Chains A and B, each alone.
Chain A
Amino acid sequence: MTRYIGKRLLLMIPTLLGAAVFVFLLMRLIPGDVCELRLAGEGAYADEKAIQLCREQAGLTKSLPRQFLDWIWGMVRGDFGVSMWTGRPIIYEIGLRFQLSLQVAIMATMTAILLAIPLGTLSAINQDTWIDYGVRAFSIAGLAMPSFWLGILIILALLIGTQALWGTPWMPPIQYTPIWEDPVANLSQLVWPALATGYRYSAVAARMTRSALLEVLQEDYIRTARAKGLVEHLIINRHALKNALLPVVTVIGIEFAFLIGGLVVTEQVFNLNGLGKLFVESVGNHDYTLTQSLVMLVALVFIMTNFIIDLIYAWIDPRIRYR
């Protein structure tokens, strides 16, 4: 097992390096650079000398391989550099937003798990009844509904609902407060985006739970359990669900990895200052260093999640042995 973990961790290096090359080149393909944008703006006149000076300071005049090696070597030493746009350390810029994105992602995941597993199970054990149809319609609708539209609808419902109840419309707070400072203010801001993304997420997971459970329920050992007169809820909870959970865990893990950097649209609707928004801004500002670090972070989260899923596999299903 240790050997396997070591091997997997080593295999991450070429993938991460590939992602680094990819984003490095991709960013430099975008026409224009941060200095032009900062000093000249769009179409305005700027002193050529000032732009040249700015480029030199940002290290943009060095050769491409040199820039790349400098960046990689910096990351290896734990120095991520400064944002080309704001001039502040990248660790600071990302740290500021990571908290918020992580919290929304975790809350959405919890919503998804709490909804998906009971609903998927209910749907599978009542296959082809109106309960099953209801759950399936609920989940296909969840896949079809854009999360930003759901967000708009939630905000609209909040406005109209509070207007009707208390006479004054209420909106979720815009300023982010950490959960340990003021849990009420924190939750009243972040519950809504978590619900808006959690719905789609639970739809994906509920469909998977249903189909995995249906497959497991066909197995011989379930028939044996029934034949020996085991209570139905024990068959489902102890015998069937345990084996059906493998693909569900995969789906939940992959979606979670996606949420860390992929909340772009939801953050836009709810006006949240998270990683997704930072991503859009940094690409728009041609902020090479910040975008590169963000991509590396997202890629790392994605690869790590895949790795952790594989480990959870072995833990849930003792038949799986890694070498």
Chain B
Amino acid sequence: MTASEPPVQVAREATSGALTGVRLGRAALSWVRQKPLGAAGAVIVLGMLLVALLAPVIAPYDPVRNAFDRMHVPPSTAHWFGTDQFGRDVLSRLVYGARTAMLVGLVASFIGASLGLMLGVASAYFGGRFDLFFQRLMDIFMAFPLIIMALAIVSIFGTGAHNVIVAITVPFIPRCARVVRSSALAVRELPYIDAARACGFSHARIMLHHVAPNVMAPYLIMLTAFLGQAILLEASLSYLGLGVQEPTPAWGLMLQGGAEEYAESAPWMAIFPGLAITVSVFAFNLFGDAVRDTLDPRLRSTG
């Protein structure tokens, strides 16, 4: 292991010592030095989160109010990123759009990866028929392209932010479960699991307290990899008209309709939302790559 401390270990130390704040700070600092790109990504991600939280303070205009006397205004000091076909300020819509993107991205990745963790651990722990059946089930889910799966879910439950989260979460579950299962299979064979069983602990307790903490690395890697994907998926679904609905500001939605129609005469409408998506996914990917390299240098990216 190199000098950099994996976050898991950091978290464990944090609970044990009195000097937790100092230690955490030092660990974070050494991580920043080791992974400057990942740190840059983390900074952008934090910035995005702040923008999302403080949207009402930052946004100069109301993101949903139409102003038909100010349609297609090019970027200026009054409207930094111009206005759209309804006279709404593009910057304000981008700022509020960060809320949608972060909410969907964080919630979908967290729930998707966590359910995947539980199912993956259970599948490896129980093994046998349960495992076999479960793996075939995952095969079936995986054979559905992600976006098509999301499409079906949206058409069952309808559009809107909550259902978009469900639609993005479901395809994440088997992907995480697969990876976690393969790590948990090795953990299951370790002697301390036998020892725990000999102590008469329940299956649930062994899985939660003994197996799960040891497959945190693949779980965190999948979780961080999902973040960028979730934001991209939300944007794609909203762009197709299957995601977040007008007038809620969302980046993908901003690229739909007007932005395409007026791309030539009002290119700012098409350029800035796309840039917002690209920069945030870029940042999440940089951060995710660094987390992956720190936790498991052997694991390769599969994109």
Given that A262-B148, A268-B239 are contacting pairs, would A15 and B263 also be in contact in the complex, using a CB cutoff of 8 Å? no
Given that A29-B156, A145-B278, A299-B144 are contacting pairs, would A280 and B236 also be in contact in the complex, using a CB cutoff of 8 Å? no
Provide the main secondary structure of the chain A interface.
Answer: helix
Q: Do the beta carbons of A140 and B277 come within 8 Å of each other?
A: no
A113 to B252, CA, bound (A): 29
Number of CB contacts from chain A to chain B under 8 A: 141
Query: Could you give, for residues 5-30 of chain A, a 1 whenever the CB lies within 8 Å of some chain B CB and a 0 otherwise?
Result: 00000000011001100110011011
Considering only residues 205-228 of chain A, those with a C-beta below 8 Å from chain B are: 207-208, 211-212, 215
Asked if B28 CB lies within 8 Å of chain A CBs, one says no
Query: Could you give, for residues 115-147 of chain B, a 1 whenever the CB lies within 8 Å of some chain A CB and a 0 otherwise?
Result: 000000000000000000000110111111111
Nearest-CB distance from A304 to chain B (Å)? 11
Q: Do the beta carbons of B140 and A207 come within 8 Å of each other?
A: no
A-B residue pairs in contact (CB < 8 Å), sample of 25: A14-B136, A15-B136, A15-B143, A18-B137, A140-B282, A140-B285, A143-B282, A144-B228, A144-B279, A146-B277, A153-B270, A155-B263, A156-B263, A156-B267, A156-B270, A159-B264, A203-B303, A204-B303, A211-B301, A255-B303, A264-B148, A264-B151, A279-B151, A299-B140, A303-B143
Q: Do the beta carbons of B145 and A148 come within 8 Å of each other?
A: no
Asked if A236 CB lies within 8 Å of chain B CBs, one says no
Query: Could you give, for residues 92-120 of chain A, a 1 whenever the CB lies within 8 Å of some chain B CB and a 0 otherwise?
Result: 00000000000000000000000000000
Residues of A within 8 A of B252 (CB): 146
Given that A26-B152, A146-B235 are contacting pairs, would A295 and B267 also be in contact in the complex, using a CB cutoff of 8 Å? no
Asked if A80 CB lies within 8 Å of chain B CBs, one says no
Among A204, A280, A303, point to the contact of B151 (Cβ < 8 A).
A280
Closest to B139 in A: A15
Asked if A122 CB lies within 8 Å of chain B CBs, one says no
Provide the main secondary structure of the chain B interface.
Answer: helix
Total number of A residues with any Cβ neighbor in B under 8 Å:
52
Q: Do the beta carbons of A18 and B136 come within 8 Å of each other?
A: yes
Q: Do the beta carbons of A143 and B303 come within 8 Å of each other?
A: yes
Nearest-CB distance from B159 to chain A (Å)? 12
Among A140, A169, A203, A295, point to the contact of B286 (Cβ < 8 A).
A140
Residues of B within 8 A of A204 (CB): 302-303
A155 to B263, CA, bound (A): 9
Asked if A50 CB lies within 8 Å of chain B CBs, one says no
Residues of A within 8 A of B141 (CB): 22
Asked if A302 CB lies within 8 Å of chain B CBs, one says yes
Q: Do the beta carbons of A149 and B255 come within 8 Å of each other?
A: yes
Considering only residues 18-71 of chain A, those with a C-beta below 8 Å from chain B are: 18-19, 22-23, 26-27, 29-31
Chain A interface residues (CB < 8 Å from chain B): 14-15, 18-19, 22-23, 26-27, 29-31, 140-141, 143-146, 148-149, 152-153, 155-156, 159-160, 169, 203-204, 207-208, 211-212, 215, 247, 251, 255, 258, 261-262, 264-265, 268-269, 279-280, 283-284, 295, 298-299, 302-303
Nearest-CB distance from A159 to chain B (Å)? 5
Q: Do the beta carbons of B274 and A149 come within 8 Å of each other?
A: yes
Q: Do the beta carbons of B146 and A251 come within 8 Å of each other?
A: no
Nearest-CB distance from A241 to chain B (Å)? 16
Nearest-CB distance from A110 to chain B (Å)? 18
Asked if B260 CB lies within 8 Å of chain A CBs, one says yes
Closest to A262 in B: B145
Asked if B259 CB lies within 8 Å of chain A CBs, one says yes
Asked if B209 CB lies within 8 Å of chain A CBs, one says no
Residues of A within 8 A of B274 (CB): 145-146, 149, 152-153
